[in-house]
Every structure is written in C-alpha cells, then in structure tokens.
Amino acid sequence: MMGESFKRFKKKYVLDAVIKAILTGICAVLLVVATFLIVTTLKKLDFNMVYAVLTGVAFGLLLGLGTFFVLKPNDKKLAKKLDNTYGLREKIQTMHAFLDDDGDIKLLQREDAIKILDSKPTNMLGLLKGLVAFFVALVICAAYLVTAIVVAFKSEENTPTHDPGDDTQQGGEDDEDEEFTPTDHQRIALEALIQEVEKSNMQADVKANVLSELNVLLSELDNLRMQSQMKEYVVGVIKAVRAHVNGASSTFKVHMLAKDNSNSSIKKLSLALYSLNMSVIETEFVSISSGLFVLGGSKDDIADFNDELGAIIRNSGLGEEDGLYGVLKALNDSLTLIVERTYTDENILSKIDEAFNRTAIGELKKIIPQEKVNNDVKDRVVSELMRIFGITEDDIKEKTDENDDFETTEPEDRPEVGEDGGYGAGGNIFGSDDIVIDKDKEPAGNVDNINVQYGEVIANYESKITEMLRNGEISEELAEILRKYYSVLITPQGGQN
Amino acid sequence: MENMEKVKKFSETVSLIKAELRKDVVGQNEIVDNVIIAIIAGGNVLLEGVPGVGKTRLVRSLGRTLSLPFSRIQFTPDLMPSDVTGTNVIEKDATGKMVSSFRKGPIFANLVLADEINRATPKTQSAMLEVMQEHKITVGNDRYDLEEPFFVLATENPIEQDGTYPLPEAQMDRFVFKLIMKFPSDEELVDIVNMTQITLDENAQAVVDGPTILEMRQLASQVPVIDDVVKYAVKLVSNTHAELEKSPDCTKKYIKYGASPRAAQALITCAKVRALINGNFNVSYEDIEALARPVLRHRIKINYTAVNEKLTVDDVIDLLVKETKKK
C-alpha cells in the first residue's frame, strides 16, 4: 500500500538506527570504563576493573537499546522525515495519513507520492553522512579510554615501594593508603616524651594541657588503623600543643598584633620580644631607644611610637595581671611623660634610656625565661612527634587551612632560638637600620658571642659620635651630654648597663 | 482514470481563465492567481489599489470570462440598501389591478462588482452582509436565494479617504481575500498604454460556466490535508490574538485585535484550491504560508507600536508566519 520505495527507506532508517545504537552503546562502555579507571587511579581506590567493564557493558546495552527505540522510525515519523529530507511538500505524510481512504483525489495523491518517492535515491552514502557525528563521538571516547589507561600505567610506575623495616613509618602521601600499626619504638619514644614534659619547668597550666594531648595520643595509638588517619591525628596534636603554648604566650600575642605595624620601631620591639632571647631584646632596645632620640626633635617620633604601643597594649588582650602588660604599660607611661613634659635633650635621652634599658629590661628578665621554657618544650614536643611518626612540615601545612586558629600555626618570621640562647637555624636577620646582626656570623646558642657583638654595636655607635664631635658637627652643649651617655652605657667589663 | 480526467480539466480550465484575463489585464499575476483561487473556493474578494491600476477592469474581464450574469454597483454615499437588494413596488398587473411585486436589484447576479464599496454609508454596506455570507436576501418578509455560484468582488481606494466609510470588521471578515493591486512596473505600463491605444474594449471571452465552477469547487474540496497542516493553519490564526497567553511576542507587541475563525476556514479551503492549481494533490505548509497575507491582512489590526516602527500589516504577518513555523 505504501509502495516499495517507502519500505526501502524504512529498512535504511532502521539500519541507521541500529548502527547509531551500537555506536552509542560502544561509546557508553568506553566512557564508563575510562571514568572508572581515571577515578580509581586518581583516588587510589582498589577496584576490580572486571566490574567496571561489566558495569560499562550493562550501561552500554541500556543506552544502546534506548537509542535504538528513540531513533527507530515508525511510519508516521519516517514519512515526516522523508518529506523534510527531500522537500516533498508533505506528500508522504498525506499518503500515510489517508492510507485507508480511497477517495478520488486521495488515490491520485497516493500515486503521486509513490512516484516521487521512487525517484529518490536510497544509497548508503546518505546514511554514512548522518553517522559522522557518532563516529567522531566514538573516536573521542576511545581517546578518553587510551588517556585513562596511560594515566593508570604512569601512576603505577610512580608508586614507590614501602620499606617494612622502617619503624618510624617515614613516607609521603603514597603511604597514606597503607595500614598503620604502632611500633614499640614509637610507643616508648612517646612515653619518654611525656616524661620529659612532666619533668620540664613549663608553666603548670600549659604543661597540663600539653600532657593531656600527649596522653590521649598514646591511648589512641591502637585505634589508628591507616597511615593517613595516624598522620591526621598527630598533626592535630601538634596543632593543639602549639595552640596551648602560643595561647599562653604574652610575647606571641604582642607579636601577632605588632608584626605588621607601620612603625618600624614597634616592629623591632615585637620581633625582639618574640625572639624570647634576652640578649637580642637588650640589643634591640638600645637600638630602638637610640633611634627614637633625635637631637632637638625627639618628641614626634616618641609620640608616634607611644601611640602605637598604647594601641597594642589595648588590643593585645593581655590582662593587667600579665607581666608583659606591666612592662609595656610602664614603658608607655614613661614615654607619655617625656612627650608631655618639657625636658632638655639631655633629660630626654636619660629618660628614654631609663624607660627602655633599665626599667623595661629589668622587668622582662623576670618574664621571658618562663615563656622561653614553654616555647622550648613546645618545639621539643613538636619535633619529637614529627620524628616519631614521620610527619613532615608539608603534612602539617597540608592539613592547615585558613579557618584554623592562628595560634595553631607558627608565623613564618618567628626567629628560631637556640636551646641556650642566640640564633639557631633559620633565615632570620635582626638589627637596627645601621647595624645588622646576621645569624650566619655567630653560631647558635653562644650567648657570650652575642654579648661581645653587643659591645661592638655600642663601640660602633660611640666611634661615630666621636668622629662627629671631632668634625664639629655637634655643639659643645650636646657633646657633653653624649659623652656622659656613652660613659654610662659602656662599662669596663665590656657589657651593658 | 476518471479522476485524472477531472484534474486535467481543472488545470485546463484554470489555464484558460488566466489566458483570457491576460488579454485585458497586464501583469498583476499574483492578483489574478488569487482571484481565481477565491472564485473556485467560493469566496468574496476585496481589491484595494490606487485609481487606474485595473481593479474594475480585472473584475469586468472576469465576469466576461466566467460567462455568468454580471452586475456592477457603483457605491456612492446616497446609495440606499434597496438600490442594491431590490424593492417591492406597487404596479398594475395585466388585468389593470394594483399589485405589489418584488423588483430585483443588481445583487441578483452571479458575479457582482461592488465598485468603491467604502463610499457607501454603513447602512448600505450592511445590506451586503447577509448576501456575502449566506447568498440570500431578505426584503420585507420574503427571503430570496441567489443563484450559485455567487461572488462579490469589491474594490476600494486606499487614498482619498474624505467622504468614505471604512468597512466594519464584520463585513471585512466576509471577504476571503484582500488583495492589494500595486502600481505596474515600467514595462507593464508600456504594455498597458499600447493595449489601450488600439481599443478600450475588453477582449476576454467566456471560457467557463457556472456549473463548471461548482464542479471545480467540489473537486478541490476533496484535496486531502493532514492534521499537522490544519493545526498549523489554526495556530497561525490563533497566534494573531494578543490576548491569548501563548501568542508570540510579535503579536503582543504589534497586534491590536486578531483574526476570526473564518480566517482558518479560508486558509484551508483556499489552500486546497491552490494546491490543485499548482498540480499537487495535497495541501502543504507552503500553501498555507503563501495565502497567509491575503487571508489575514484585512482580518487583523496592527497597533500604534507597529505603525511607529513603520511596519505594515504584511510585515507583521510575515513575522507571525516565522514565529509560528519556529514553534
């Protein structure tokens, strides 16, 4: 009834649907397998690829069948397709719609439609043109699979083998999938660390907190199953220890507030306090007080410095009972008096020296040692935990995000102080604008050497002043004041007052 | 084969009508084609054009070609309805007795030329409503049937609007087509001048009679139309209504009021005739689109926005066709 041509076209389009369905199914299989491969490689999951292939085949079958049923044309859809493809002015659709009607014109219409359809070619070339997009998709999917296979092989080649004899469980990210079993060595080392902390002179409340963290870690060791789990837990303990110690550190609080201050003298002050090294503090205080004194015009600089210092005292969160609060407040009050009252240059110099190098230093000597002990114990605990459990700085950085409390981290510019004073390993340089103290020039922990260097600093200052006096750059009135100042500072022992 | 003969005769008749009309009318091919479609479909046609483009001549030639009783009514402001329809008169019969009898007006013909229809008053224009739609006339208590086939071909002048009465929408809707006769091209004008130098008489000869027209109409009505094409025609008409929620944006923006259901009927009926004239045995989307302008242009009213943007009714119809096809 519909004519041989129509049947021919129908066969062609069914074949077209079958080929497209097969291509779609193959694409689906390739996509699923490649995606499984990529995901298991990147996430380092242990997954049997046979299941991936089976899943892909099932998915491909479903998608292929779905595609076939969507694309397989019924007579009505085929008639519309033929009309549109060959521009037949709805002839085929009309023929199909009025198949059961043998009216006069309808018969003529049918004959006309069949005749025009007979004249249209049904070669395979047209079929192939429509399939180009499907073949391109197949090539892309195949390329995706090849890429996934290459990535998987590369990843396998780069995976290092684990040394089972390494008790400290050293290793990077590649070990994270391995199981973790605490060794006796680790347990003993951790217990020794706990005892060491117990015996230390750490501030009592801070010590209690640190011990609590370490004891919990010891008790939890057996519950940690995987390397990644262990690392995460130990890094958590390290961060907690840092938080306890830094939270109780007045110098830390002041430094965190003042380290980015626009006033360079305030920055020096903060950095000196943060070093927890009395020698450094004394050197820097001389430098700061000398820097603040300017002949005939000290008050502006002192006022600026004092304003910033006042702001830091108010905003640092230090309580009135805090020792450092008392030191800084006294310094602040003394400088306020200097600014408010009318003093000669000689008196200003004397008052500054009194405030910085006598009163403040004297009080700091009572505070700094305890904070230094706390800090040393913290550093010891952190380094030991890292050694025992094979934690690297990168592990800690990786597990630290911007939401963490700032106290859990160590500021990058923190000067690392040797166990018994001086400058230890690190890249920090301290000093005034004129004199630079480079840690590379002095070995770590040598307090005596630092004292000698301070003497050199003072001597350097004095020689410059002497040269200026000789050249007549300073008036006689001020020359006398300066001579007295340096005679007070420099003692026959070569130290400082 | 009998069907084929009928179709062959249909095509030959159309060709003959066209050939005869070309003897008197130069150019205006699209107008001639559409007038023939309207005649076969049984619809009335409103011809609009500036004076002298051949509106009246076309209708007169058509009247000669069709070999049907033809009358011409020149519409003027003082024309009364009874001047069109006819009236009852009292006269003496053969016995000398006074009797009332109906005297038929010029509307009693098969082909009526209503020349400059917009110059008559609304009262007279309204007298045409029943005639054009039902092909009947009511005078007093009596109803008179008009002889089939019956067509009204009206003309109107788009300029010289003083003293004219725009046709009411109801009457406009009775015209299946509104055809715009454009000014002829230079070449056509040369032919017109040369033709009228010889004689002003019309040369068209009668080539088709009333029964043949009715047979052609009957044959065309059998042309099959698939549902999708009918739906397309219906959608095109419903899309002219801005008040409908699903109407396209161009409708909401440019159309004041839309076409009546008669427009959809006219589209399908005339599309069947057009398909057959063009040698096709089914109606296509192309037939509907080709007839959209003449069928819709007098049935929709564009708003001020369209006028402001210098869009004509035909431009808006083209936009509508594009929008409807897209959906």
B50 and B163 in a common domain: yes
On whether the CB atoms of residues A442 and A455 are closer than 8 A, the answer is no
- Closest Cα to residue A452, out of A420, A496, A415? A496
B19 and B68 in a common domain: yes
Q: Is the pLDDT of residue A149 over 90?
A: no
Q: Quick check: is B99 in a domain?
A: no
Distance CA A224, CA A182 (A): 8
On whether the CB atoms of residues B166 and B123 are closer than 8 A, the answer is no
More confident call, B18 vs A408: B18
Most confident segment among A264-278, A465-479, B265-279: B265-279
- Separation in Å, CA of A136 to nearest CA in chain B: 29
What is the pLDDT at residue A174? 46
How does pLDDT run across A37-67, given as a tens digit for each residue?
888 888 777 777 788 888 889 999 999 999 9
**What tokens does A492 get?**
């026959």
How does pLDDT run across A280-320, given as a tens digit for each residue?
888 888 888 777 776 666 677 788 888 888 888 888 778 87
Q: Is the pLDDT of residue A167 over 80?
A: no
Residue B193 contacts by C-beta under 8 Å, 6 or more apart in sequence? none
Evaluated on CA atoms A59, A61, A63, A66, the torsion sign reads negative
Q: Which of residues B183, B198, B216 is at a domain's end?
A: B216
How does pLDDT run across A202-214, given as a tens digit for each residue?
888 889 999 998 9
What is the pLDDT at residue B231? 93
Neighbouring C-beta atoms of residue B13, cutoff 10 Å: 18
Q: Quick check: is B95 in a domain?
A: no
Residue type, A496: Q
What is the pLDDT at residue B41? 92
Residue numbers in B near A93 (CB within 8 A)? 226, 228
Between A and B, how many residue pairs show a Cβ–Cβ distance under 8 A? 59
Out of B3, B227, B284, name the one closest to residue A108 (CB): B3
B181 and B153 in a common domain: yes
Q: Is the pLDDT of residue A451 over 60?
A: no
Q: Is the pLDDT of residue A357 over 70?
A: yes
- Separation in Å, CA of A119 to nearest CA in chain B: 17
Specify the CATH number for the domain of residue B149.
3.40.50.300
What average pLDDT does this structure show over A242-253? 86
On average, the pLDDT of chain A sits at: 76
Q: Quick check: is B24 in a domain?
A: yes
Q: Which long-range contacts (CB under 8 A, 24 or more apart) does A136-143 make?
A: A137/A23, A137/A24, A137/A27, A138/A23, A138/A26, A138/A27, A138/A30, A141/A26, A141/A27, A141/A30, A141/A31, A141/A34, A142/A30
| Residue ranges per structural domain of chain A | 4-158, 250-433
What is the pLDDT at residue A433? 39
What is the pLDDT at residue A334? 83
Q: Quick check: is B184 in a domain?
A: yes
Residue A144 contacts by C-beta under 8 Å, 6 or more apart in sequence? A30, A31, A34
Distance CA B20, CA B63 (A): 11
Q: Is the pLDDT of residue A495 over 50?
A: no
B308 and B238 in a common domain: yes
Q: Is A91 in Cβ contact with B282 (below 8 Å)?
A: yes
Q: Quick check: is B298 in a domain?
A: yes
Residue numbers in A near B222 (CB within 8 A)? 103-106
- Separation in Å, CA of B34 to nearest CA in chain A: 20
Give the count of domains, chain B. Answer: 2
**H-assigned helices in A221-249:** 227-248
Residue numbers in B near A112 (CB within 8 A)? 280-281
- Closest Cα to residue A249, out of A311, A320, A318, A200? A318
Minimum CA–CA partner of A109 in chain B: B281
> A454 pLDDT band (50/70/90 cuts)?
low
Distance CA A347, CA A352 (A): 8
What is the pLDDT at residue B178? 93
Residue numbers in A near B219 (CB within 8 A)? 104-105
Confidence (pTM) = 0.55
Residue type, A33: V
On whether the CB atoms of residues A444 and A422 are closer than 8 A, the answer is yes
Out of B2, B226, B281, name the one closest to residue A112 (CB): B281
B211 and B243 in a common domain: no
For residue B144, what are the β-bridge partners? Answer: B137
To test the contact with chain A by mutation, choose from B281, B287, B289 the residue with the greatest count of A C-beta atoms within 10 A, namely B281
Q: Is the pLDDT of residue A275 over 90?
A: no
To test the contact with chain A by mutation, choose from B4, B216, B226 the residue with the greatest count of A C-beta atoms within 10 A, namely B226
B285 and B211 in a common domain: no
Residue numbers in A near B281 (CB within 8 A)? 91, 94, 105-106, 108-109, 112
> A403 pLDDT band (50/70/90 cuts)?
low
Q: Is B282 in Cβ contact with A101 (below 8 Å)?
A: no
Q: Is A104 in Cβ contact with B3 (below 8 Å)?
A: yes
**What tokens does B259 get?**
């076409």
Q: Is the pLDDT of residue A475 over 70?
A: yes
Q: Is A103 in Cβ contact with B284 (below 8 Å)?
A: no
How does pLDDT run across A80-99, given as a tens digit for each residue?
888 888 888 888 888 888 88
3-state secondary structure of A484: helix
On whether the CB atoms of residues A379 and A202 are closer than 8 A, the answer is no
What average pLDDT does this structure show over A129-153? 87
Mean pLDDT by 10 residues, chain B (327 residues): 77 89 82 91 90 82 85 90 88 85 88 89 85 86 87 85 81 90 83 71 80 90 92 94 89 91 93 91 92 93 90 92 81
Q: Is the pLDDT of residue A173 over 90?
A: no
Query: Got the DSSP string for B126-169?
Result: HHHHHHHHHSEEEETTEEEEPPSS-EEEEEE-SS--TT--PPPH
Neighbouring C-beta atoms of residue A487, cutoff 10 Å: 10
Structural domain of residue B249, as residue ranges? Answer: 223-326
Specify the CATH number for the domain of residue B274.
1.10.8.80
Q: Which of residues B166, B194, B216 is at a domain's end?
A: B216
On whether the CB atoms of residues B129 and B83 are closer than 8 A, the answer is no
Q: Quick check: is B86 in a domain?
A: no
Minimum CA–CA partner of B219 in chain A: A105
What is the pLDDT at residue A296? 61
Q: Is the pLDDT of residue A497 over 60?
A: no
Q: Is the pLDDT of residue A444 over 70?
A: no
